[in-house]
Amino acid sequence: MSARQVEAPIEAKHPRETTSLFGHRDAELTLLNAYRGGRIPHAWLIGGAQGIGKATLAYRMARFVLAHRDPLVPAVLAAKTLAVDPSHPVARHVAAGAHGGLLTLERTLNDKGVMRTVITVDETRETISFFGSTAAVEGWRVCVVDTVDELNANAANALLKVLEEPPRQSLFLLVSHAPARVLPTIQSRCRKLALRPLGASDVVRAAAEAAQKRADDPALAEAADAAEGSVARALTLLGGDALKLHQRTAALLSSLPRVDPRELHALGDALGGSDRAVLAAFIDSVERWIAERLRADGANANANLPRLARLAEVWEKISRAARDTAEYNLERKPLVFSVFGMLAEATR
């Protein structure tokens, strides 16, 4: 299997453009009821696995608040969901990234056109002028941080200063793939909203809409089964070759700490080329395996704590190596051998 044969994943819409939400009914009602209760917490930490709809829910809430500035009007009191008609001016402005009442903090391209690995302090300081301005738009101001995990240390501290003294009618929606690792000082100023991985049927429905496929397409069901509740992961795996690559990686991971050099060479060859989707599928499989090991062993009272610490450290090293490989278009085979070498050592 060559890199040229691997199908690129289907690109989902940006969450600000996504109007459908699958699953997470309880979380949606929590936000809705808090808003129309008249005393909504000013900051929410929306946590859960990657690709399950956290940012989609955050933008859904942002649209609703910006479209209904008074939480006590009949339309809000009677609402069953946070849905806003896509033709509504607020929905159109949010989708275009042009609503004066919404600020988004997310990674951006640097001067060389390469995606930054963090959200910078200069970008985060925009919150100060955004919430301090009186000319942008009447009513609520909403800030979506997607994700708070990607704030560098200075950026996190800059955000904390705004969270400590929130302006009136301000709402912060912080998305996190690892909420327990967010600064405790930020956590303490947020209401936590945990989202669970989606059921397979919801993954199929969401992926079908994103991919513009029939929900009864067998390929969707196969990808959803391997996606562990993540729509983003299902879309990545929707190409048959990408799914096979995931399965090959999973098989090698299951044999650790034993490693077969021949299989590693074959996997390295499969990852060859410059297709970033292929690299992303490989790293995603590895990180899911590590996360599952950490969860399972961490819940065990007799867990080997030094080994857990080594595995967590390896996770950080793999993430950095993967970013460097993608950013600088480095050879993939050395990465494969390095990843499995580190994991074999950490799991012995």
- pTM here is 0.79
Percent above pLDDT 90 for the chain? 55
pLDDT band at 80 (very low <50, low <70, confident <90, very high): very high
| E strand or H helix that includes residue 16 | none
Q: Is there a contact between 170 and 140 (Cβ–Cβ < 8 Å)? A: yes
For range 153-160, the mean pLDDT: 95
CA dist 152 → 117, 121, 167 (Å): 9, 7, 23
Q: Which two tokens stand for residue 70?
A: 């008074």
Average pLDDT over residues 52-65: 97
pLDDT band at 298 (very low <50, low <70, confident <90, very high): low
**Rounded to an integer, what distance in angstroms lies between the CA atom of residue 239 and that of residue 8?**
7
Q: Which residue's structure tokens are 């991971």?
A: 253
Encoded tokens for 322: 């993967």
Does the CA dihedral 151-153-159-163 come out positive or negative?
Answer: positive
**Whether the Cβ atoms of residue 306 and residue 347 lie closer than 8 Å to each other:** no
Query: Which amino acid appears at position 345 of this protein?
Result: E
Query: pLDDT value at position 306?
Result: 80
Per residue in 171-198, pLDDT tens? 999 999 989 889 999 999 999 999 999 9
Segment 295-312 mean pLDDT: 72
Q: Tell me the average pLDDT of the chain.
A: 87
| Residue 299, token pair as written in the block | 């819940």
* Burial classification of residue 18, based on how many CB atoms lie within 10 Å of its CB (0-12 exposed, 13-18 middle, 19 or more buried): buried
pLDDT at 135 over 50: no
Report which of residues 340 and 237 the model is more confident about: 340
Predicted pLDDT at 211: 84
Q: Are 203 and 224 in contact (CB under 8 A)?
A: yes
Q: If you count them, how many residues does the chain have?
A: 348
Give the mean pLDDT of 279-283: 82
On the question of pLDDT at 8 being above 80, the answer is: no
Q: Which of 56, 130, 74 is CA-nearest to residue 99?
A: 130
